[in-house]
Amino acid sequence: MNAPIKQHLIDPEICIRCNTCEETCPVDAIVHDSNNYVVDVTKCNLCMDCIPPCPTGSIDNWRIVTSAYSLDEQFSWGELPLQQEIAPAEGHEAIDADVQALIDSAHVGAGGKSVAPATAAKPSVNLYNRDKPAIATVSGNYRLTHEESDVDVHHLILDFGDTPFPVLEGQSIGIVPPGVDSEGKPHRVRLYSIASPRHGEKPNTNNLALTVKREPQGVCSNFVCDLKKGDKVQVTGPFGATFLMPNDPAANIVMICTGTGSAPFRAFTEWRRRSMPNATGRMLLFFGARRPQDLPYFGPLQKVPDALLGKYFAYSRVPGEKKVYVQDLMRREEPLLGKLLRSAGTHIYVCGLKGMEQGVDSALDDICRGAELNWRDLRDSMRAEGRYHVETY
Ligand code: FAD
């Protein structure tokens, strides 16, 4: 297999054939026929000179490929191909045992072996390991929680430059904290869920976002939360081949989370918004935190239209108010959830702290009873069909 490369492509559906890019390119890599404007991979040096003058943004498209698209292929396109699945480099097929153990432990709450949704895109897994990590550059680090909150959650943006790092929503990456532990051994890799959609924080950027909570005396979370713009980070992965989105606009997606468990759901929501704006399937988010001030993405979430995302916020520590947990709001929405659970097009995702599993499970049990369903049987069949997913840590 060839080493993956980043190939510059032009979106034929958006391009208005104005010739600006061909005139701008300093190395004559852009040519056209009567059908399309295309980029010659043997000449393009990724200098980016053509990007700003393009009036439509059609020029700003990239795919990670092991075998580059030829000029003839590009001339024939009516639309851009989807990102290909990239296999790990030789010798990298097996995931490190400690990382696999973290993933297995995170998925144990599903009650059995998880599988990916039938329509999910094929993920690339384990392209980089700690012997050969990808090096990412921090391009942003912002505090997400309110300044009055003692919960310190950060939104990190990691840029991979020219290094191929294809991901799907629901996957995680590994971060290698620098230094050694008390026994003098290199620190172990920690996993973080990807909080941005597959084509980047902004469409067609080779970057991804993370949602990281600072843990008191935590080795990696403190390292990550203290990173500055321009700092370099060793990254492994991507990891995870089952906690993925259905590629089906009719699928109902019920997302239940606490704290940084919101990270993959930010990615899910953004991907559906960008790629399927007229999706008919419902998207619901049950999100638990102690107080609104502690809830990551609280401000931006308020602006997401209800038509795209039904939002239910549960707060367990608001002074003078009754404690409310995600399972309480789920029970309150029993008629809607009961109806959705009856549909073979419904997918459930649970993500966040281990402690949330039991309450969510018993709420689903109650809701099923009200809808004359058996949750144990339904859970097992949904899991086998790739429609029930738990990732808790
Ligand atoms: P560690 O150093 O590993 O410490 C672990 C715990 O021990 C911490 O709670 C810390 O407070 C405590 N501790 C450490 N040293 C001491 C000491 N000397 N005295 C007392 N207590 C101590 N986390 C996120 O924030 N966002 C995510 O999106 C995310 N996604 C994940 C996805 C998966 C699949 C998994 C498995 C985990 C995920 N995590 C996520 C958790 C993350 O991987 C780390 O476990 C977390 O950041 C803590 O790592 P750390 O190195 O900071 O803490």
Burial 330-341, CB ≥16 within 10 A → b, else e: bbebbeebbebb
User: Are the C-beta atoms of 302 and 292 separated by less than 8 Å?
Assistant: no
pLDDT of residue 378: 98
Which residues fall within 8 angstroms of residue 59, CB to CB, at 6 or more apart? 10, 15, 21, 50, 51
pLDDT of residue 63: 84
Report the nearest atom of ligand 1 relative to the CA of 195. 28
SS3 (DSSP) at 148: coil
If you measure from the C-alpha of residue 219 to the centroid of ligand 1, how many angstroms do you get, rounded to a whole number?
Answer: 8
Residue whose CA lies nearest to ligand 1 atom number 7? 218
Residue whose CA lies nearest to ligand 1 atom number 53? 218
User: Are the C-beta atoms of 286 and 356 separated by less than 8 Å?
Assistant: no
Residue whose CA lies nearest to ligand 1 atom number 22? 217
Which residues fall within 8 angstroms of residue 128, CB to CB, at 6 or more apart? 92, 134, 165, 235, 236, 237
Residue whose CA lies nearest to ligand 1 atom number 29? 192
User: Are the C-beta atoms of 187 and 177 separated by less than 8 Å?
Assistant: yes
Residue whose CA lies nearest to ligand 1 atom number 33? 191
Ligand 1 binding pocket mutation candidate from 114, 144, 192 (most atoms within 8 A of CB): 192
CA–CA distances in Å: residue 371 to residues 110, 111, 311, 368: 21, 22, 22, 5
Q: Residues lining ligand 1, judged by CB closer than 6 Å? A: 102-103, 106, 172, 190-193, 211-213, 215-221, 260, 263, 391, 393
Phi, psi of 118 (to 5 degrees): -60, -30
If you measure from the C-alpha of residue 221 to the centroid of ligand 1, how many angstroms do you get, rounded to a whole number?
Answer: 6
pLDDT tens per residue, the chain (393 residues)?
A: 456 677 899 999 999 999 999 999 999 999 999 999 999 999 998 888 898 899 988 998 888 888 899 999 999 999 999 877 777 666 666 788 899 999 999 999 999 999 999 999 989 899 999 989 999 999 999 999 998 899 999 999 999 998 889 999 999 999 999 999 999 999 999 999 999 999 899 887 889 999 999 999 999 999 999 999 999 999 999 999 999 999 999 999 999 999 999 999 999 999 999 989 899 999 999 999 999 999 998 888 989 999 999 999 999 999 999 999 999 999 999 999 999 999 999 999 999 999 999 999 999 999 999 999 999 999 999 999 999 999 999
Ligand 1 binding pocket mutation candidate from 104, 176, 217 (most atoms within 8 A of CB): 217
SS3 (DSSP) at 68: coil
If you measure from the C-alpha of residue 211 to the centroid of ligand 1, how many angstroms do you get, rounded to a whole number?
Answer: 13
Report the nearest atom of ligand 1 relative to the CA of 213. 25
CA–CA distances in Å: residue 272 to residues 198, 229, 308: 11, 29, 8
Tokens of 78: 């009516």
SS3 (DSSP) at 293: helix
Pairwise CA distance, residues 61 & 50, whole Å? 12
The structure's pTM equals 0.87
CA–CA distances in Å: residue 75 to residues 1, 12, 112, 204: 25, 9, 47, 21
Is the link from the previous residue into 178 a cis peptide, with omega within 30 of 0? no
Residue whose CA lies nearest to ligand 1 atom number 19? 217
pLDDT of residue 285: 97
Tokens of 214: 């600072």
CA–CA distances in Å: residue 384 to residues 69, 93, 123, 138, 348: 37, 25, 19, 38, 13
Which residues fall within 8 angstroms of residue 115, CB to CB, at 6 or more apart? 242, 383, 384, 385, 386
If you measure from the C-alpha of residue 393 to the centroid of ligand 1, how many angstroms do you get, rounded to a whole number?
Answer: 9
If you measure from the C-alpha of residue 191 to the centroid of ligand 1, how many angstroms do you get, rounded to a whole number?
Answer: 9
Tokens of 112: 């059995």
Sign of dihedral through CA atoms 302, 306, 309, 315?
A: positive
Q: Which helix (H) or strand (E) holds 374?
A: none
Burial 233-242, CB ≥16 within 10 A → b, else e: bbbbbbbbbb
Residue whose CA lies nearest to ligand 1 atom number 3? 218
Q: Helix H segments across the chain? A: 20-24, 71-76, 97-107, 219-225, 263-275, 298-302, 326-332, 334-341, 357-370, 375-384
The DSSP letter of residue 47 is -
pLDDT of residue 328: 98
Residue whose CA lies nearest to ligand 1 atom number 11? 216
Calculate helix-pair angle for 375-384, 357-370, nearest 10 degrees.
Answer: 110
If you measure from the C-alpha of residue 181 to the centroid of ligand 1, how many angstroms do you get, rounded to a whole number?
Answer: 14
SS3 (DSSP) at 267: helix
Sign of dihedral through CA atoms 23, 24, 26, 28?
A: negative
Pairwise CA distance, residues 242 & 239, whole Å? 10
